[in-house]
Amino acid sequence: MKFNGYKYLILSDLYRYKGDIRAVNFLGQMFFGRTFPYNFWLRTCQFLKSKPIFKYSLYYVARLILNHYIFKLGIAISPSTEIGSGFYIGHFGGIGVNKNSKIGNNCSMSNGVTLGQANRGRNKGYPVIGNNVYIGPGAKIVGAVKVGNNAAIGANCVVTKDIPDNAVVVGVPGRIISYKGSQGYVNYTDYEDKI
């Protein structure tokens, strides 16, 4: 990962939180924000780990800080996880993401979300989340499930099957109730021309 790519990811995340990328908003989120500091240190660990010169020095310092936030906020996302731009965590607590999961651009994730591995059966593997996806509080996505672009997954929903684009999924097990998608749940995604 190049520095410009790292900077772009940080600013896209900031824009998703505040709708603005000014330095005052960055500092405000770093000192007073609840979940943005986790995003920052997660992205920083990903960047430092990709650079051999930093991998065995600064990376460990950044990882210690990230570990502090893991325990403080109850969010466990590995720096090895592939996460697109504009990642937004709405509420902290009880979030667990398998490191082999893939998360697309502009994902909005709530508290209590699990992206988990299935070790056997037809869904053996890890979730792949599309772009502009909203994942509600307590939702569980388990196994080699593909969640389409612009999908919305309701609170406490359990997803074990592929979800098409623009689907709204609720219940246990998850079932599609409409194709209105995540519009209104995933905001501030127009950062491409602002960064």
Give catalytic residue positions.
91
Three-state DSSP class for 128?
Answer: strand
The conformational region for residue 68 under phi > 0 = left, psi -120 to 50 = alpha, else beta, is: alpha
Q: CA neighbours within 13 Å on the CB side: how many for 173?
A: 7
Task: Return the biggest CA–CA distance within the chain.
Answer: 50
Q: H or E stretch including 115?
A: strand 114-116
Beta-bridge partner residues of 108: 88, 134
d(CA 168, CA 166): 7
Q: Which two tokens stand for residue 62?
A: 């950044």
Q: What is the per-residue burial (b if ≥16 Cβ within 10 Å, else e) of 36-61?
A: bbbbbbbbbbbbbbeeeebeeebbee
